[in-house]
Structure 1
Amino acid sequence: MRRIKNKAKRLKRKSELQTHVNKRFEDSNRGLEEGYQQGLEAGFKSFDSYFDGTSIIVTSHNEAESVKRCIESIINYTSLSYEIIVVDNNSSDGIEHYLKQLNGMVRYHILSHNHGFAGAMNRGLMMAKGTTILLLSNDVVCTDNWLHNLLICLKSNPSIGIVGAVSNGMNGEQRIEPFYRSVENMQEFATLNNISDPSRWSTSERLSFQCLLFSRDLLEKVGFLDEGCIERPYVEEDYCIRVRNLGLKLVYAGDAFVHLTSDDKKIRGSEEEAEKKKGLLYFNDKWNKPYEVLNSLAHNSGIHWTDARQLAEWDERRLGESAFYPQAIAVKGLTETIFWIEDGVRRAIEGIWDGPVIQLSQIDLRRWTIGPVLKEEEVQQKLDLVQGGGQLTELHGSICIKADGGMYYMEKGMKRAIVSPLAAEAWFMNSRSQISLLESELLDVPDGLPIIGPTKLRQAL
């Protein structure tokens, strides 16, 4: 039997047509809003969930062609689980159009203005969902087994903090002089080179961020890159020092070769040179004598771990870099809640707090255990006590300045070297009471961990 189709109802008047259009428009908007709310709810529920794979973060600034080449090489030469994240520093080269065309194969964010290398990488770190994280220059062309061999090295020993590749374009120990003249020949060279071989792993004092792998656990311990350092050379050195402060090793894997299409030394414009100089000044102000700090940790204070058991004990405390921050301070994260930090515990301050507050990242805050709420007047009493030097018998909360200008923060019967004037200023140490101790008296006070400046972070998700 032949089926008779129902005729569509014709709208006779213009008013009926307009009503119909309005209804379709309302239905469409309602569907979009419901879909958005469902996606938002799903996003909140999965915010702290991670996948067992690597987040590969690539940054760019008017380098669209390099980004394309880099992404293509990742796709062609990576068989393990990964995601690609591109963060662009407000380029004018049409890179957003290219990234949109990838139909979700790449997660990306276009910054509203140029945040520099550290700022762009930090945005990528905030977006990353992998259990391991890889910072990658857009100049890199990936090769056979590159990520596989880096992961083998990283996971071989808990004392390894970060692992770097080797390349034709890197400086120092990670540089390999190539034996090829074309990209095709390069891939042949890389295939022969990238045969897993632990005998070709070596420790280093510093690693290049052009291809750098570490675990999410390390990010939780060390935190974000310091945006005060601005550009790569000083961001690299700062982060490597902070990793080594925790007694962790830096290793480069000779069996993980990647190709760099440009040399480590690029020609810079006057604006980039100015930013680089700012980064150098900040780095010097922050650390003063960074390798003296490392030597002190290694030889004097006993915080240089040599076996997995000691490292595991440190992990249980989960203080990470926060152990190098002072106690008896007020801090805050992204919200308006202010916390009092003392004895490794953060306690929310109830009431109006007018005292000094230090802004920290959420990663920094999470390392301190949450304790019971403190009333504002209780915190003020604590602050008055340390600012007034009320507990001098316990040497708690005061500053001791040595004859050579060096500073100690006296905390719970220990002396903690303040590594630089910038660190003292950042933690409002200049407002604390000062005491004088003879050199012989100082020697009798046990050493605590040194105090370093907090990481500068200018953005948040």
Structure 2
Amino acid sequence: MAASRSPSHRNNRRSAGQRGRRRNGTARGSAGRRQVRVANQPINDGYGAIFKEGFEQGYQLGVQTGIQRYPVPFEGTSIVIPTYNQAALVQQCIETIKWNTPEPYEIIVVDNASTDGTAAYLQKVCGEVRSRVLDKNYGFSGAINVGLMMAKGRTIVLLNNDTIVTANWLTNMLRCLNSDERIGMVGPITNYISGSQLVKVPYKSLREMPEFARRNNRSDPSRWRQTDKLIGFCLLFRRELFEEVGYFDEGFEIGNYEDNDYSVRVQLLGKKLMIADDSFIHHIGSVSIKAVGDRMVKVNNQNEAFYNRKWPRIGELMESLKVHAVSRAMPAGTAALYPERIIVRGVGADYFWIEQGTRRLVNGVVNVPVVKVSHVDLLRWPIGEPIQAGEAERRWFGQSGADAADATTCTVKMPDGALYYIEGSTIRKLQGESALRGWSLHLKPEKTISSDQLSRLHVGLPIIAPPVMKQSL
């Protein structure tokens, strides 16, 4: 005779069924209500509001903790990768970083509004990669700037998404950078690039590439060499350099010439650019730029023209800084190459008067031009005492002060076309129309002075144009 099943056996069967449902995170209560399990404890629907409130409070606490700890640097390298419609390439790049980078690092990917599934991939790897998806294509400079704003590392690498890094790539670049505090940026060699970082490679396929890189990437300081330009496919520098030089110029649209511009700005501070020949990475080459298609030539021409307007007579500028360096140290930050007696604004609503190396909060309504600068630029000026808007405006026009000569602020155009800016008893050469208009100095009073008057003025540091900021940084 078949054994009968006891009620307890039937209850065990039900419990087993319930346990099965609980593995999926839900179960049904006695009234059939759906239960959610958190930390193996059921939360009935009636407690959903309490759970959501607690979750939100915990989330906000986490956000505040992150904000408070944001200024604390990360003792490692932030690797910033800009990308646009190249999901497979950025995934490949990230994988090779994981394989070949024993040093502490964080990966930051900034996507220029791709439409190929890049955002979905970044969401998938959010535990391993920090990322930001922009609302539109801000170009190479725009994406890099967002990454720089996010970076927390003591050192920073800007890396193209179409690169494959190799064994010791970062190790040897870091050794080069840390060998001399006068070194500003370091770049590797590669198989596909223009300029002096290009090397001829023997391999015919990617399968052969790692062995070539292994032989090449043996640490050798004798293979480090100085250059006057580094290409932006891979750049390594210290956080301090970024704080001194600032963000990339977003006036260079899509890509090209922004790395030339940054190389110039680094060297203006007396820093050296180095190529580490003992660090090789494979570069597929200009994939994002080529994706622009027929616009590529137009974009390149526009960026070249923008660069030439910004840096006319670059040789003369470098020589003038060398002359200044004989009697004084090179400028510690780009702010020394910015004008004074102007009003600037950062990411907030406050306006600041710049004079004597400080920024002074302007109280009241301002009726003169205000120049937008990044938060990094703004912080280079230490804070001073507040100033009333009316007084700042009078000083802007050179109409304040007991000594009329000391109050002078105006522009001067010499017969040879050279532009100058006079700050009291100091005259400073403007680096072309870009500097003149970038700081709204073309709206200042313009005067004509004689050679004799010019000779009595103290010659100050030249003035360069501010980088174009299309985002709030």
Q: Normalized against structure 1, the TM-score is what?
A: 0.89
Q: What percentage of residue pairs aligned between the two structures are identical? A: 37
Correspondent of 1:34 among 37, 57, 64: 57
Q: Does 1:261 align with 2:261?
A: no
Counterpart of 2:319, as a letter, is N
Give the aligned partner of residue 416 of structure 1: 428
Instruction: Measure the CA separation in 1 of the matches of 2:84 and 2:287.
Output: 16
Give the aligned partner of residue 430 of structure 1: 442
Matches of residues 38-49 of structure 1 in structure 2 within 5 Å?
A: 38-49=61-72
Give the aligned partner of residue 278 of structure 1: 302
Q: SS in structure 2 opposite 1:369? A: coil
Instruction: Measure the CA separation in 2 of the matches of 1:143 and 1:288.
Output: 39
Judge which range, 28-37 or 324-333, deviates more: 28-37
Correspondent of 2:458 among 446, 450, 456: 446
Q: Does 1:242 align with 2:265?
A: yes
Matches of residues 164-243 of structure 1 in structure 2 within 5 Å?
A: 164-243=187-266
Q: Does 1:347 align with 2:371?
A: no
Q: CA deviation at 1:104?
A: 1.2
8 A contact 1:62–1:92 mirrored in 2? yes
Correspondent of 2:388 among 365, 375, 392: 375
Which residues of structure 2 form unaligned runs of 5+? 1-7, 19-27, 35-42
Change (3 A) 1:332 1:146: same
Q: SS in structure 2 opposite 1:92? A: coil
Q: SS in structure 2 opposite 1:370? A: coil
Correspondent of 2:467 among 445, 450, 455: 455
Instruction: Measure the CA separation in 2 of the matches of 1:12 and 1:365.
Output: 61
Give the aligned partner of residue 398 of structure 1: 410
Q: Does 1:327 align with 2:351?
A: no
Counterpart of 1:229, as a letter, is F
Correspondent of 1:122 among 134, 140, 145: 145
Give the aligned partner of residue 363 of structure 1: 376
Instruction: Measure the CA separation in 1 of the matches of 2:339 and 2:68.
Output: 34
Which residues of structure 1 form unaligned runs of 5+? 15-19
Report the aligned-residue RMSD. 2.7
Change (3 A) 1:28 1:187: same
Instruction: Measure the CA separation in 1 of the matches of 2:169 and 2:467.
Output: 31
Q: Normalized against structure 2, the TM-score is what?
A: 0.87
Q: CA deviation at 1:391?
A: 5.6
Instruction: Measure the CA separation in 2 of the matches of 1:402 and 1:148.
Output: 51
8 A contact 1:60–1:89 mirrored in 2? yes
Instruction: Measure the CA separation in 1 of the matches of 2:273 and 2:441.
Output: 32
Counterpart of 1:10, as a letter, is S
Q: CA deviation at 1:160?
A: 0.6
Counterpart of 1:46, as a letter, is R
Change (3 A) 1:398 1:390: farther
Change (3 A) 1:367 1:439: same
Instruction: Measure the CA separation in 2 of the matches of 1:272 and 1:175.
Output: 22
Change (3 A) 1:255 1:350: same
Instruction: Measure the CA separation in 2 of the matches of 1:258 and 1:29.
Output: 48
Instruction: Measure the CA separation in 2 of the matches of 1:40 and 1:304.
Output: 49
Q: SS in structure 1 opposite 2:196? A: helix
* Deviation by residue 1:203-233 (Cα, 9 ceiling, x = unmatched): 1110011111000000000000000012443
8 A contact 2:268–2:318 mirrored in 1? yes
Change (3 A) 1:391 1:426: farther
Matches of residues 5-16 of structure 1 in structure 2 within 5 Å?
A: 10-11=30-31
Change (3 A) 1:392 1:422: farther
Change (3 A) 1:44 1:266: closer
Q: CA deviation at 1:88?
A: 0.9
Q: SS in structure 1 opposite 2:188? A: strand
Change (3 A) 1:23 1:274: farther
Q: CA deviation at 1:63?
A: 1.0
8 A contact 1:301–1:447 mirrored in 2? no
Give the aligned partner of residue 321 of structure 2: 297
Which protein shows a greater Rg?
Answer: 2
Instruction: Measure the CA separation in 1 of the matches of 2:379 and 2:452.
Output: 39
8 A contact 2:352–2:361 mirrored in 1? yes
Instruction: Measure the CA separation in 1 of the matches of 2:29 and 2:224.
Output: 76
Q: How many residues align?
A: 442
Instruction: Measure the CA separation in 2 of the matches of 1:369 and 1:103.
Output: 37
Q: CA deviation at 1:406?
A: 1.3
Q: CA deviation at 1:296?
A: 2.0
Q: CA deviation at 1:78?
A: 0.4
Instruction: Measure the CA separation in 1 of the matches of 2:76 and 2:101.
Output: 12
Q: Does 1:145 align with 2:168?
A: yes
Instruction: Measure the CA separation in 2 of the matches of 1:304 and 1:280.
Output: 34
